[in-house]
Structure 1
Amino acid sequence: MLLAGDPLPHRPRRILVAGVSGSGKTTLARRLSAVTGIPHTELDALHHGPQWTPRPEFLDDVRHLAARDEWITEWQYTSARPLLAARADTLVWLDLPFPLTLARVVRRTLRRARTREVLWNGNVEPPLHTIFTDRENVVRWAISTRNKYKEQVPEAAAAHPSLTVVRLSSRADVERWMDGPVADLRRGTDDDGS
């Protein structure tokens, strides 16, 4: 498992970004896309249909995405994870402190609920009281799933030995990685000479 300052062994082409809700998966995926030129597909946009129902085409869309030569996406949804991990060459694990990720997801949820921000397929955050009444509420989900990646990432690495795993454990690590190994991709100084 690589850390923030470790050079990448190859130029990534299919990148997964893993982490609990509020860890910054989509934000980092977008930043990586801007640096590398690899297209980012937001997995939530493929998954959520109107009224938060899963889209029937979701897994077909994931298969189509995974079959591409280059992509960046978030590593989430139990049904999609194996399809994506089988094709990925790099997995970036945002293993940030839980108080930070919880604060982020709460702030994001409050902002989205207050502004009625339209998300995927016309969805908006449900009323705030659902934090207490809905087990699937994103804030409750973030709390209940906060430790799952500590098992899932090593399992994926063991199942896919060619998968490069980068573990970032703080905001400083994210910036160190973006300013170091990722910036080297822009300069063309990665190990494979591209």
Structure 2
Amino acid sequence: MERILVVGVTGAGKSTLAQALSSQLGLPYLEMDALYFNGPGWAVNSELTEDVSRLTAGPRWIVDSLGYPEVRDLLWDRADTVIWLDYPRRVIMPRVLRRSVRRTVTREVLFGGNRETWTGWLSREHPAWWAWSQHGPRRREIERRVRDPRFAPLDTLRFGRPDDTTAWLASV
């Protein structure tokens, strides 16, 4: 485990696990959303592919994302391990809702200086809506990739319950 992708749907705990593993294994942690959103108004990094290519050219790293479409294949080609947090909606949705309410109420500064807002809750791009609508499609995309012979050399760890993930992390 030197080049790790932590994948799952929004709210699964990808960033939390990636940060913990980064500390535990001494791997550089790359926060994909921070690389993707780089300015006010949720501006997208026009140099995302170049940045991700440069950052993942090294021998050791951990990324908390399936990968945005522009860099998804690049990440999956370079990774040696995929850790899949494959949690059901009943686990994901309370997490996303709590996190988004907290971020909205506290006006927490996020990627590129952006914040979640009350009006943002009406957008299909809001994390709560995104987590609900993308749960099935994301799971299918990850399933397809872990079965794809192109990515067969990847070691894949799939966790269906947070307690299983916690137990595994304690054993690393």
TM-score of Structure 1 vs Structure 2, range by shorter chain: over 0.9
Could you tell me how far 1:110 is from its partner in structure 2?
0.6
5+ residue gaps in structure 2?
Answer: none
Could you tell me how far 1:170 is from its partner in structure 2?
0.6
Separation in 2, partners of 1:149, 1:122: 27
2:35 counterpart residue number? 46
2:80 counterpart residue number? 89
- How many equivalent residue pairs? 168
Aligned runs of 1:7-22 on 2, under 5 Å? 12-22=1-11
Runs of 4+ in 1 over 4 A off after TM superposition: none
| 2:53 aligned with 1:63 | yes
2:135 counterpart residue number? 146
**TM-score, normalisation: structure 1:** 0.82
| 2:93 aligned with 1:77 | no
Aligned-residue CA RMSD in angstroms?
1.2
Aligned runs of 1:1-194 on 2, under 5 Å? 12-50=1-39, 51-74=41-64, 75-125=66-116, 127-132=117-122, 134-157=123-146, 158=148, 159-180=150-171, 182=172
Could you tell me how far 1:66 is from its partner in structure 2?
2.1
Deviation string 1:124-164 (CA, Å, 9 cap, x unpaired) is 11x223323x1111111111100123322232222211001
Separation in 2, partners of 1:91, 1:83: 14
Q: Given residue 28 of structure 1, which amino acid in structure 2 is its aligned partner?
A: L
Separation in 2, partners of 1:130, 1:36: 37
Query: Which structure has the larger Rg over C-alpha atoms?
Result: 1
Query: The residue matched to 2:77 in structure 1 has which SS?
Result: helix
Q: Given residue 118 of structure 1, which amino acid in structure 2 is its aligned partner?
A: V
Question: Contact between 2:43 and 2:112, CA under 8 Å: does it hold in 1?
Answer: no
Question: Contact between 2:10 and 2:92, CA under 8 Å: does it hold in 1?
Answer: yes
Separation in 2, partners of 1:154, 1:93: 9
Q: Which has the higher contact order (CA 8 A, sep 6+)?
A: 1
Q: Given residue 98 of structure 1, which amino acid in structure 2 is its aligned partner?
A: R
Deviation string 1:51-74 (CA, Å, 9 cap, x unpaired) is 201111111111112211110002
Could you tell me how far 1:106 is from its partner in structure 2?
0.8
Greater helix proportion: 2
